[in-house]
A and B are shown apart, each in its own frame.
Chain A
Amino acid sequence: MQTDTFEINRISDKPVIEFKGVSKTYATGTHAIEDVNIRINRGEFVFVVGSSGAGKSTFMKLIMREEKANTGTVMVNGFNLTKMTRNQIPMLRRTMGIVFQDFRLIPTMNVFDNVAFAMRVVGASDKEIRLKVPKALSKVGLGDKAHSMPMQLSGGEQQRVGLARALVNSPDLIIADEPTGNVDPNMSYDIVSLLTEINKRGTTILMVTHDHNLVRDFQHRVIMLDSGRIVADNAAGGAE
Chain B
Amino acid sequence: MKTRSVKYLIKEGISNTWVNRLMSLASIGVLVACMVVIGLAILISENVTMALGRLEQQNVVMVYMKDYNWALYGDTEREEETSSEETPADTSSDTVSGATTSADDTTSTETPVDDGSDENGIKETDYVIHNEKEAKDLCDKIAALENVQDVEYISSDAGLEAAKETMLQGQAEYFTFLDDEFGNPISAAAKVTMVNMDKFEETLLQIEQLDGVDTIQSNSDLADKINAIKSGLTVAGIAIMAILIVISLVIVSNTIRVTMYNRKLEISIMKAVGATDAFIRIPFIVEGMLIGVVSALISEGLLYFCYRVATEAISTTLGTGDIIAFGDVAWQLLAIFVAVGIFSGALGSFIMIGKYLRKEGSEFAAI
Interface residues of A (CB under 8 A from B): 57, 60-61, 64, 66, 87, 90-94, 97-98, 100-102, 104, 106, 108, 117-118, 120-123, 125-126, 165, 169, 177
Contacts and interface: CB of A to CB of B under 8 A. Distances in A.
A122 B364 contact: no
A14 B252 CA distance: 50
A90 B276 contact: yes
A139 to B, nearest CB: 17
B366 A102 contact: yes
Interface string B259-274: 0000001101111111
B272 A120 contact: no
Contacts of B268: 104
B364 A61 contact: yes
16 contacts: A57-B365, A60-B364, A61-B364, A64-B272, A66-B362, A66-B364, A87-B276, A90-B275, A92-B274, A100-B272, A100-B364, A106-B269, A117-B273, A121-B273, A123-B2, A126-B4
B269 A64 contact: no
Contacts of A125: 4
- The list of the 10 closest CB pairs from A to B, nearest first, reads A94-B274, A93-B274, A121-B275, A118-B273, A90-B274, A123-B2, A123-B5, A98-B272, A90-B276, A121-B273
A209 to B, nearest CB: 15
Contacts of A122: 273-275
Contact of B364 (A57, A123, A126): A57
Nearest to A95: B274
A141 to B, nearest CB: 22
Contacts of B365: 57
A111 to B, nearest CB: 14
Given A64-B364, A123-B2, A104 B273 contact: no
Contacts of B326: none
Given A64-B364, A118-B273, 11 more contacts: A64-B272, A87-B277, A90-B274, A98-B273, A98-B363, A104-B268, A108-B19, A117-B270, A121-B274, A125-B4, A165-B273
Contacts of B277: 87
A101 B364 CA distance: 10
Contacts of B4: 123, 125-126
B363 A106 contact: no
From B19, B273, B277, B365, name the one whose CB has the most chain A CB atoms within 10 angstroms: B273
A80 B276 CA distance: 19
A92 B275 CA distance: 11
B18 interface: no
Interface in B1-50: 1-2, 4-5, 8, 19
A101 B366 contact: yes
A94 B270 CA distance: 11
Nearest to B365: A57
A169 B5 contact: no
Nearest to B272: A98
Contacts of B8: 120
B343 interface: no
Contacts of A64: 272, 363-364
A169 B273 contact: yes
Contacts of A165: 269, 273
Contacts of B276: 87, 90
A35 B271 CA distance: 28
B279 interface: yes
A90 B8 CA distance: 19
B363 A121 contact: no
Interface string B337-367: 0000000000000000000000000111111
A93 B5 contact: no
Contacts of B272: 64, 93, 98, 100, 104
Contacts of A97: 273
Interface in B242-271: 265-266, 268-271
A108 to B, nearest CB: 8
A197 B73 CA distance: 117
B38 to A, nearest CB: 37
Contacts of B271: 93
B269 to A, nearest CB: 6
Contacts of B1: 123
Interface in B107-144: none
A177 B364 contact: yes
Contacts of A87: 276-277
A153 B335 CA distance: 51
